[in-house]
Amino acid sequence: MVTAITNAIFDEISPALIRQTNMADYKEAPLATRPRTLDPNDYFNLSPEKRRADEERAAVRSNLKRQYLTQLNNPHRNALIDDPALNRWVYARANPYPHFRPTFKTSLFGFMFGVAPLFALYYVFKTDRDRKEKQIQAGTSDRRFCHSS
């Protein structure tokens, strides 16, 4: 009896208190992803092509797993297991120069990060220090508690 009443009251109040968003209204944060339960791909995209693609990916994955576990469980192994994917990643990150081409965008980046700061910072520091020096010479700056600037 009491439980029925409390349930009835709760059912009355709860939709007003709890603001729920459904799948269509959910907006993910910029650069973040959707939860898997709200991903429409999981519900609507169930074609055989997708299944075949998933199976092919699983086959590649199992093959790599087999190679790794064979090396891992080899009792005669006395060296590290080389990961060619890791080597490729390191090599790619360390050697972008052969694939660099000066385009408008890359030249702009080079200019903004390499050339402009030099001149901008020189100008900023020089004007600030000249202003300070002029104040010190004129005697207007309060340097009672400051030795170094």
By C-beta, is 1 or 86 nearer to other proteins? 86
Residue whose token pair is 């020189």: 122
Instruction: Provide the 3-class DSSP secondary structure of residue 60.
Output: helix
Per CB under 8 A, does 111 bind other proteins? no
Per CB under 8 A, does 100 bind other proteins? yes
The residues, any chain, with a CB within 8 Å of residue 19's CB and separated by 6 or more, are: none
Angstrom distance (rounded) from CA 111 to CA 97 = 17
Minimum Å gap between C-beta 79 and other proteins is 12
Per CB under 8 A, does 87 bind other proteins? yes
The residues, any chain, with a CB within 8 Å of residue 136's CB and separated by 6 or more, are: 143
Per CB under 8 A, does 80 bind other proteins? no
Could you list the residues that contact other proteins (CB under 8 A)? 27-35, 53, 56-57, 60-61, 64-65, 67-68, 81, 83-89, 91-93, 95-103, 105-106
